Each structure stands twice: as C-alpha cells, then as structure tokens.
Amino acid sequence: MSFETKIFPTWCPGCGDFGIWAALKGSIKQLGLKTNQFTIVFDIGCSGNMSSFLKVYGFHGLHGRAIPAATGIKLANHQQKVIVVGGDGGLLSEGLTHFVAAARSNMDIKVIIHNNQVYGLTTGQSSPTSMKGTKGKATPLGVVEKQLDPVSLSIVGGATFVARSYAGNIPETTKIISSAISHKGFSVVEVLQPCVTFNKLNTHSWFQQRVSPLVSIPKTDLEALEKAVWTEEKIHLGIFKDDSSATPYHETIPILKSKTLIQYT
C-alpha cells in the first residue's frame, strides 16, 4: 500500500518530521489498516504540512483545533480510527483547553505531538515546551515561563495511553505509534523532534546524549510522573502509561452501543 501523494515533503532537510512521517506510515502498514478505516486530523504548523504528503482521509483544520475536530469525527463514526498529528505550539498552547478536555473524557483519539520546542513554520518563536531561558524571535531576553512537559500533562489530564519517543529512532517510534493506535482511549505519543533550523539547543546530538529507554512501564501514575520529568542528564523514552481497563467516551453513550451515529450507505 502506498500513501504517497504528488507532493514530496517540503520540510527542511534533516527535519525530525521525516522520521515521524516514516514511523506513522510504518505503523499503519504494520497494523494492516486500510485507508477507509482511519482518518488523520492535522493541526497547523510544520507537522500539519504532512497532510499534503499522505493519501488518506485527512482533515487539515485550524491551528490548535485538531482535537475537537477529531472528537467530532470520532463521535460521528466511532468505527474510524482517529489520529491527530500536531505540534507543541498548536496542541499545547492554542489548543490546551481541547487537549485537557479530550484527555479527561478519554476520547478515543490518538495524538502524536511533534515536539520541536519551537514555532517552526512561523520562523522561530518560543513555544510552551521551550526550555527556560531559550531565546526566540519574540522572546529575545529568553523564555521566562516554565517548560511544559506533555507526558506529565497527559497523565494528570487523564490520558489512558502515554508515551514518549525520539524521531531519530524510527523503528521504536513506529512500534510506539502502533501501540497508541491499538489502544482504546485517549492516547498521547510525544515525539522529540529536533528542529534543525530554529532550535540550536535541542539538537539531534543533544537528545542522543540524553535519551534513555524506560526499563518497564511504571506501575502507578506517581511513578510515571517521576520518570517523565527531564533531568540534566536523562530524558526517558517509552510507554509511561497503558491503561486498557478505562472505558473510552463513545462506549459510555447508549445510542452508540449498537451502531455508529451516521450510516452513509
């Protein structure tokens, strides 16, 4: 199966998005999903530009608003696997309310966060995941705000599958995305994705010195939170939470028990 379109990716050479693109395609193939079985909702940003590089049912909506659109699609036709592709800016700044709301309701959508810690497509402003002190185009004196950790946020918010991966490791990222897509409920995969043009601090080699796989899935949320935190030396990768016992939102709705909301045939 080929998902290629007439447009070859327009990302910068060396961009981490190539790795995530490859991993996502790999997962879809690995899971044997047909193109009429899933929809990908793209946020706006470098990550969202992937929308024109995949021949699937795609929805490239508004900056920050991918999650509510995905929620609408899931509730209208819960037989579809619904995947969200977005960045740290869209999903965690403008779209934070939606992120937390969907996590709390355990909406069955799978969110892949391309975390490059910078606004890339708008040429280099700091983002919610930028490290304290980072100088951006709109923060020349350095970021004052504390860095937001998507993994901790997801665990506290109520996501039932939470993982972190590194875009430089395509086989591992593929495996984790596959697990997220297979999970029933709100799933988050944070992919550390170095921006080769605008993030001169969190580079490939910077990450390679720090990333370290989790030995096993933490048994409790508290343990997961402990492991999620970045330290000077170590950034843990792997699955932090995988709770398959939680009921996804649509399964709590009586009228969705026997059939999907819409029947188009």
Question: Which positions lie near other proteins, rule CB under 8 A?
Answer: 5-7, 34-39, 41, 44, 49, 51-52, 55-62, 65, 68-73, 75-77, 79-80, 97-98, 100-101, 253-256, 261-262, 264
Nearer to other proteins, 45 or 238 (CB): 45
CB of 93 closer than 8 Å to CB of 127: yes
Place of tokens 């490939």: 204
Nearer to other proteins, 77 or 139 (CB): 77
Render the burial of 181-191: b for 16+ CB within 10 Å, e for the rest.
Answer: bebbbbbbbbb
Q: Residue 68 CB, nearest distance to other proteins (Å)?
A: 4
Nearer to other proteins, 5 or 125 (CB): 5
CB of 3 closer than 8 Å to CB of 58: no
CA dist 237 and 214 (Å) reads 6
CA dist 55 and 113 (Å) reads 20
Run of H or E residues at 71: helix 66-76
Nearer to other proteins, 76 or 138 (CB): 76
Q: Residue 25 CB, nearest distance to other proteins (Å)?
A: 14
Q: What is the 3-state secondary structure (H, E, C) of 154-216?
A: HHHHCCCEEEEEECCCHHHHHHHHHHHHHCCCCEEEEEECCCCCCCCCCCHHHHHHHEEECCC
Nearer to other proteins, 144 or 255 (CB): 255
Nearer to other proteins, 78 or 164 (CB): 78
Q: Residue 168 CB, nearest distance to other proteins (Å)?
A: 27
Q: Residue 133 CB, nearest distance to other proteins (Å)?
A: 32
Q: Residue 67 CB, nearest distance to other proteins (Å)?
A: 8
The number of residues in the chain equals 265
Q: Residue 199 CB, nearest distance to other proteins (Å)?
A: 24
